[in-house]
Amino acid sequence: MLNKSNILFKRTAIFLILAGLFVVAGLVINNATDEFVVPIAIGDTNTEYTASEDFQHLERANRAFINLVSKTKNSVVQINTRVRIRRDESSRLERDELRRRTLEEWFGFRFPDDMQTPEVPTPRRSQGVGSGVIVSEDGYILTNNHVIDSANEIKVTLPNGREYEAELIGQDPGNSGVSGTDLAVLKIDAEGLPALPFGDSDALEVGEWVIAIGTPLNLSQTVTRGIVSAKNRRRFSNIQYGNFIQTDAPINRGNSGGALINIRGELVGINTLIATGGFTTGNIGIGFAIPSNTANALLPQLIENGEIVRGWLGISMEKVSHELAEKLNLDSTQGVLVEAVGPDSPAEKGGIRHGDVIVEFNGKPVQGSSDLMFTVAETAVGTSVKIKVVRNQKEKVLKVKLERRTEEAVASLRNPVESAPEMIEPEELPETEPFAGMQTQKLTPELARRYGYNNEKGVIVVNVEEDSPAADNGIQVGYLIKEIDYITIEDLADYRKVVKELENKGEELALVYVKSPNGSVNYLTLKINSNGTEDNR
């Protein structure tokens, strides 16, 4: 009896233990299927979510990006450069002498007087890393000019690790006297390479997904993702013809020359520069890429000629403000105001004058100064174009033959004086009554000498009131008033006559043409009261 009780007890214990294991493991018998099921809450939730339509969309998007990277990454290469730099002997001697004196002060002993620095300066090597994009199967590679500028050796490493010596084919520097796009073309001796097709950068939309591939911080084949943040960002870092795409796809040092790619797997930009803030020099979500349409248009010329030849008009210009449009009775703010015309330039030969508003170039409306600059640059040298201007509120069509943009041509429009002379109190002369918050005197030979004006006519500003229209527009003591409302001002008599006419007409705006002591000229639209005094509204 005792033995049967022990056996029953053991069987009961075993049953309870097994039952407990079933409960702990969450094991359940499904009567309908005669299958064991383990009901885990997390598993149930994941199964339900992964079966949802939202997850399927995300999974397809995720897979699409993975496929996009796999399809395009082999077209982006790493570029390593070496630059041999000869140390400047005088600078090195001064640096060594400073170190020697510092050590003597720290340790309280004097180095032997015959201790000399070697007289032959030793060369040193500077190394750089950037990125590039394969744009043809036979080895042409696009990159930034600043990646390879001044390099003695250029080496390209493909994603498979194979290295090639690269030949520099063409350059369009972004920081020269005729500043261009900061593009360059290299060539390696290879065939059958995975070229990245060009996309239409003009068709990009703000908010569109893009990926950036490059070699940031020497980390090759790095992929980042973001969106197009803005378009048509212009003139960054002295690059005149960048017309950049802005993106928040993370870009850092070494990404320069790499690819900005749309979701179709097309090259839409060459990553070029980043904006930084505070003490950081890394990515803050503001990067810029040269549009693919710009690069694609310049590529044949860079390969064939090794450089870019651009058209030249020969003017300095400013946008049309709302005040100027109101003053000149223009229908809109489209167009550009000509501030200066270069001597012997195509513009001067074609009859363009300062004060003209250019509204059309070869039948195409001019949107603004950057638009005209790009249009002129893209027009072949020697082309005769029709330029429509508004002069004295009347339209006039002029014929101008474009010439080549060169450093000498650009220099002809630069300020003749490098820096403004020291401002000196003008001599005691009768001043005019305040006009737009400024007072003037006649330009005497002494004042002309002090402020650097040679063979100039006009009246000189001797006082500018704070918070006046003149001050708000940047007019300072020493500025020369040369025109008001297109009327030439040669002396105080002309000045007083024009101001009086403005008072009698009750004009609210005056278009003033001024020259500063550093040689720059500007048209300024000043708000005035009908009585000719400053308007502080």
Per-residue confidence in pLDDT tens, the chain, 537 aa: 445 555 555 566 666 565 555 544 444 444 433 444 444 444 445 677 777 888 888 889 899 999 999 999 999 999 999 987 655 544 555 566 566 555 555 555 444 444 444 444 555 667 889 999 999 999 999 999 999 998 999 999 999 999 999 999 999 998 766 678 999 999 999 999 999 999 999 999 999 999 999 999 889 899 999 999 999 887 666 687 878 999 999 998 899 999 999 999 999 999 998 887 666 667 788 999 999 999 999 999 999 999 999 999 999 999 998 988 988 888 899 999 999 999 999 999 999 999 999 999 999 999 988 889 989 988 999 999 999 999 988 999 999 999 998 888 888 776 544 444 444 455 555 667 789 999 999 898 888 888 889 889 999 999 999 989 999 999 999 999 999 999 999 999 999 999 999 988 888 899 999 999 988 899 999 988 644 344 433
Q: How far apart are alpha carbons 302 and 104 in whole angstroms?
A: 56
Q: Which helix (H) or strand (E) holds 230?
A: strand 222-233
CB 403 within 8 A of CB 500: no
The amino acid at 215? T
Euclidean distance between CA atoms 331 and 345, whole angstroms: 29
Task: Count the neighbouring beta carbons within 10 Å of the beta carbon of residue 35.
Answer: 9
Output the pTM of the full model.
Answer: 0.71
pLDDT of amino acid 16: 57
pLDDT of residue 47: 74
Of the candidates 303, 284, 294, the residue with the CA atom closest to the CA atom of residue 245: 294
Residues taking part in catalysis: 146, 182, 256
- The answer to whether 524 touches 468, Cβ cutoff 8 Å, is no
Which pLDDT score, from 0 to 100, does residue 395 have? 92
Q: How many CB atoms lie within 10 A of CB 246?
A: 20
Cβ burial 49-81 (10 Å sphere, 16+ → b, else e): eeeeeeeeeeeeeeeeeeebbeebbbbbbbbbb
**Interatomic CA distance for residues 338 and 486, integer angstroms:** 12
